[in-house]
Amino acid sequence: MTENNVLEIAVKACDDKKAENIVAMDMKGISLMAEYFVICHGNSEKQVQAIAYEVKKAAQEQGMDLKRLEGYDQARWVLIDLGDVIVHVFHKDERLFYNLEKLWGDAPVVQLEGVLR
């Protein structure tokens, strides 16, 4: 499975649970951690957990190896490591505070029009 397939699966899973402001960043040549970051948020702890669970479930259904899942119980910032794609699911308040889009501002944003409904 290519990193673009993993990215599409992750983004669709986030969208299925009504994640807000879904952004994918191309981290190639910028970060050694992953090829892509997906960043989104939910408006409550329950929604953050639902988004994270959906990403995990969608990845496992496609036979992907889930390398790490952090922060699920607190549901303020959940990190889902799918290898080449790392998904950051924030609670709305934490997303504003950590502002990863600005921190990694030199990373190009991936256009998601074809993926999102």
Residue 82 makes CB contacts below 8 A (sequence gap 6+) with 6, 10, 55, 59, 64, 65, 66, 67
Q: Look-up: residue for tokens 């609670």?
A: 91
| CA–CA separation, 61 and 46 (whole Å) | 22
Residue 12 is part of which domain span?
3-110
User: Does 116 map to a domain?
Assistant: no
Q: pLDDT tens for residues 96-106? A: 999 998 888 88
CATH of residue 37's domain is 3.30.460.10
What pLDDT was estimated at residue 29? 87
Q: pLDDT tens for residues 61-114? A: 999 988 999 999 999 999 999 999 999 999 999 999 999 988 888 898 988 876
Provide the number of structural domains found in the chain: 1
Mean pLDDT across the chain: 92
User: Does 79 map to a domain?
Assistant: yes
Pairing of strands 36-42, 85-91: parallel
User: Does 8 map to a domain?
Assistant: yes
